[in-house]
Amino acid sequence: MVLTKEITIPSEEELTVQEVEISTPGLRAASFHMGKACENVNNEFMLCRQECQDPRKCLNEGKAVTACSLDFFRKIKKNCAVEFTQFANCLDRSSPDFSFKPCRKTQAVFDKCMLDNLKIERPYFGYFSEVKVHHTERPRPEVKKQEYPDAPLPVPDDLPLQPAKFGKRSL
């Protein structure tokens, strides 16, 4: 395998946190509000993941994402459990692909509950498809430029041209 002994891989304990154990309908039902509530943490994690391209370097950001989502789902369970379950059930049973269209009524009930109890408004249409600029404290990771020790030297500009062998230089 590629992974040698020199490569540090975090241990089992470092990687074990309380995961969000929820099925797809529940995740879909709460996705918009969750994305809005944990937006900063999520953007931080995705920026880190995109910049580093290494799962080991963004573990803390990832843990923060999971903790935020878990906290959010606990809040839902406390305040809007019935509405949430209703909406998730509707998403699960109305279409084969969890589409939102057949569930506008239950969605409206859930949205109202979220707005009243948790003060989280449903983001407007297309909010998560927009390009966002994220300001972060984390320093930019250094991009190492690849150096080739046996690369040929570049040709100097003032290299004297030799006379053309066959009459024309273009030949």
Partner 1 sequence: MDATIKQDLPPPGGYEKIQYARNPAKTFFRGGRLLAGFIILNGCTTYYYFNHIYPGILHRRVEKKGSHLATLPLLLAEQDRAFLKHCRALRDEEEKLMANVPGWEVGKWNGQPIYKTLDKDVFSNPILSEYYCHAPYMDFYKKAMEEAIQV
Footprint of partner 1 (CB under 8 A): 1-12, 15-17, 19-20, 27-28, 31-32, 34-36, 38, 41-42, 45-46, 49, 54-56, 58-59, 61-63, 65-66, 69, 97-101, 125-129, 144
CA separation for the pair 161, 105 (Å, rounded): 80
**For partner 1, the closer CB: 125 or 166:** 125
The count of C-alpha atoms lying within 13 angstroms of the C-alpha of 84, restricted to the half-sphere facing its C-beta, is: 24
State the minimum distance, in angstroms, from the CB of residue 164 to partner 1.
41
Spatial separation of the C-alpha atoms in residues 121 and 98, rounded to whole Å? 21
Q: Under a CB-based contact definition with an 8 Å cutoff, are residues 79 and 113 in contact?
A: yes
Taking the complex as a whole, the smallest distance from the CB of residue 161 to partner 1 amounts, in Å, to 37
Whichever of 129 and 170 has its CB closer to partner 1, that residue is 129
Question: Which residues lie below 8 Å from residue 137, measured CB to CB, with a gap of 6+?
Answer: none
**How many angstroms separate the CA atoms of 105 and 113, rounded?**
13
In the complex with partner 1, which residue's Cβ is closer, 82 or 128? 128
| Of 86 and 107, CB closest to partner 1 | 107
Smallest gap from residue 169 Cβ to partner 1 (A):
39
